[in-house]
Amino acid sequence: MHLYGQLIESGSVTYTHEDLNELEKVLIECAKRRNEYAHADWTGVKKENYVRVKSQSKKRGVFHRYKKFEMPKLEDDVEFIRNARHVLDDFNEKIHDQLWGRDSS
């Protein structure tokens, strides 16, 4: 993000900081969704598709937070992550095209 921002600031590309901020929002949301799955305890799936997603030690003991993963939501998250990758690839390709003076249409 910082390197893209520096390219925008230098005037080397036609993207704006607003464009970059929109890309960053998509990528932050992508990371949030991905982390829910990547850090869940899938070996301990409970009845009704409940998965432990967080454990926290407190003075009164260890507490766990569970989340119910439904197939439609899971599929939506996978699609969002795939689309985010395409958005980033397109952004990156257009930046490089502009830097190298290629037609990015």
Element counts in the chain: helices (H) and strands (E): 3, 3
pTM given for the model = 0.80
Same domain, 4 and 31: yes
Q: Is residue 25 part of a domain?
A: yes
Same domain, 8 and 30: yes
* pLDDT value of residue 57: 96
Q: Which amino acid is at 71?
A: M
Mean pLDDT estimate for the chain: 92
Q: Is residue 105's pLDDT more than 70?
A: no
Same domain, 64 and 33: no
Q: Is residue 30 part of a domain?
A: yes
Q: What is the pLDDT of residues 86-104, one digit of tens each?
A: 999 999 999 999 988 876 5
Is residue 66 within 8 A of residue 52, CB to CB? The reply is yes
* pLDDT value of residue 46: 77
Hey, what are 35's tokens?
A: 């982390």
Same domain, 1 and 24: yes
**Distance (Å, whole) CA 36 – CA 53:** 7
Same domain, 6 and 34: yes
Range of the domain at 57: 41-76
Q: Is residue 15 part of a domain?
A: yes
Q: Is residue 87 part of a domain?
A: no
Residue 11: Cβ within 10 Å count: 7
* pLDDT value of residue 62: 96
